[in-house]
Structure 1
């Protein structure tokens, strides 16, 4: 695929995520997709592999986090790699604590599908927003 086609694929993948359209999202992802979300102490951290885990982490995200994107992300591509640069604001639902996350997704496209995602995110801001107070209350 061309660089332009790779960027369009990644844009379609992000649109499917944003609309919570699992069918379209899975159609754009390789069967063996690997999505690495760094950090500890917040609900989405970990390595998620395959369609089932992709669907599960997106379901978990929709239940655990309210997120908005104050401006459209930037897409930078070379070869089979697309970097998506953006910012998200929101809150962790369980704690009701807000966060701001400046992020980069490094995405690899293989055979016309999203095959690998490595997130670079503000893990400290997300862990802080996920942390319960000592009393167990947010």
Structure 2
């Protein structure tokens, strides 16, 4: 692993660990916001589907901040495990799992999780998350 790849993985390992520890509170969100470039592209597999509107594509830090606000309004983080990181060049893939409880329905959703991230100068410039969207949408309705 190159020094850049190692540095990118180390930054993301800390971010994911703090996200889980903080249970996605304001400090956890602030940690992620500090990792983002100003021109970040942030996407989610649900892509703004009914019940998951907060997952629409984001094209700036301000839009990602709104994503986190809407996520926290609707969902309570129960666990977020980043089990493995794979790095190649400016890309890092995180493989793990997560569990969330919908604040309105009371339903709990557990899912495998994969994030594909592109870094530039120690900042996230592109983020795409993959998870069980069918389970998440069912949990939200």
Identify whether the pair has TM-score above 0.5, normalized to the shorter chain: yes
Structure 2 residue aligned with 1:26, among 22, 33, 53? 33
Aligned-partner Cα distance in 2 for 1:83–1:56: 24
* Paired residues of 2:13 and 2:82 also in contact (CA < 8 A): no
When the two structures are aligned, how many residues end up with a matched partner? 131
Query: 1:101 deviation in Å?
Result: 1.3
**TM-score w.r.t. structure 1 length?**
0.83
**Pairwise CA RMSD:** 1.9
> Unaligned stretches of 5+ in structure 2?
none
Q: Which residue of the other structure, out of 109, 115, 130, is the alignment partner of 1:99?
A: 109
SS in 1 for 2:85: strand
TM-score between both structures, scaled by the size of structure 2: 0.82
> 1:79 pairs with 89, 100, 118, which one?
89
Which residues of structure 1 form unaligned runs of 5+?
132-138
Q: CA deviation at 1:27?
A: 2.5
Match of 1:89 among 91, 99, 115: 99
Partner of 1:53: 63
What do the CA deviations read for 1:5-56 (whole angstroms, capped 9, x no partner)?
0101222333454433244433321001111012212333210121111111
Larger radius of gyration: 1
